[in-house]
Structure 1
Amino acid sequence: MSTLRKVAVVTGASSGIGAATALLLAQNGYRVFAAARRFERLEELAGRNENIEAHLLDVTDQSSVDAFVASIAGIEIDILVNNAGGAFDSS
């Protein structure tokens, strides 16, 4: 039996489908990197399960995306749930 834990990244994890998905994965033993703009809500979610790590991420801000990617660089990801969305100016 492998001692390596499966890893999941869930964006848009501060509420709704993203939060529910992160919690379900964590309850099933995954190490979950939960990422979103509303960090306070992520901290609340992480407080519900020790397998969840809160990460600040705003997908509309390239520097935020770069910082998030750097924080998980080198970690093998088994599941990616890309649930985040944002509005971009079309001009």
Structure 2
Amino acid sequence: MENVENKVVIITGATSGIGEATARVLAANGAKVVLSGRREDRLEKLASELGSCATYLKSNVTNVEDMKAIVKLAKERFGKV
């Protein structure tokens, strides 16, 4: 994976499977990750494991207000998306 260092990436479905694996790979390669999903306990655990390059918000991808909130969080925490 190239050219992801310091990129800010929102990952929906980050609590398991492909979403979680993608978050881990991106973070390991220098990206800032904003984790989104419905299971807050798993989001919190993953963000803790990834450290300062990660933040999270419990959210549902089918809810427009939740998606606006995750973009707002990304901008507040990392300055961009």
TM-score range, shorter chain: 0.7 to 0.9
Aligned residue for 1:33? 34
Q: How many residues are aligned here?
A: 74
TM-score normalised by L of structure 1: 0.68
Q: Distance in 2 between matches of 1:65 and 1:30?
A: 20
Paired residues for 1:17-32 under 5 Å: 17-32=18-33
Structure 2 residue matching 1:33: 3-state secondary structure: strand
Q: Distance in 1 between matches of 2:14 and 2:64?
A: 18
Q: Distance in 1 between matches of 2:45 and 2:26?
A: 16
Q: Which has the higher contact order (CA 8 A, sep 6+)?
A: 1
1:8 aligns with 2:12: no
Tell me the CA shift for residue 73 of structure 1.
4.1
The amino acid that maps onto 1:56 is: K
Q: Per-residue CA shift, 1:64-86, capped at 9, x if unaligned? A: 22322332347433xxxxxxxxx
The amino acid that maps onto 2:27 is: A
Question: C-alpha root-mean-square deviation of aligned residues, in Å?
Answer: 2.0
Structure having the higher helix fraction is 2
Larger Rg: 1
Structure 2 residue matching 1:58: 3-state secondary structure: coil
Stretches of structure 1 lacking an aligned partner (at least 5 in a row): 78-91
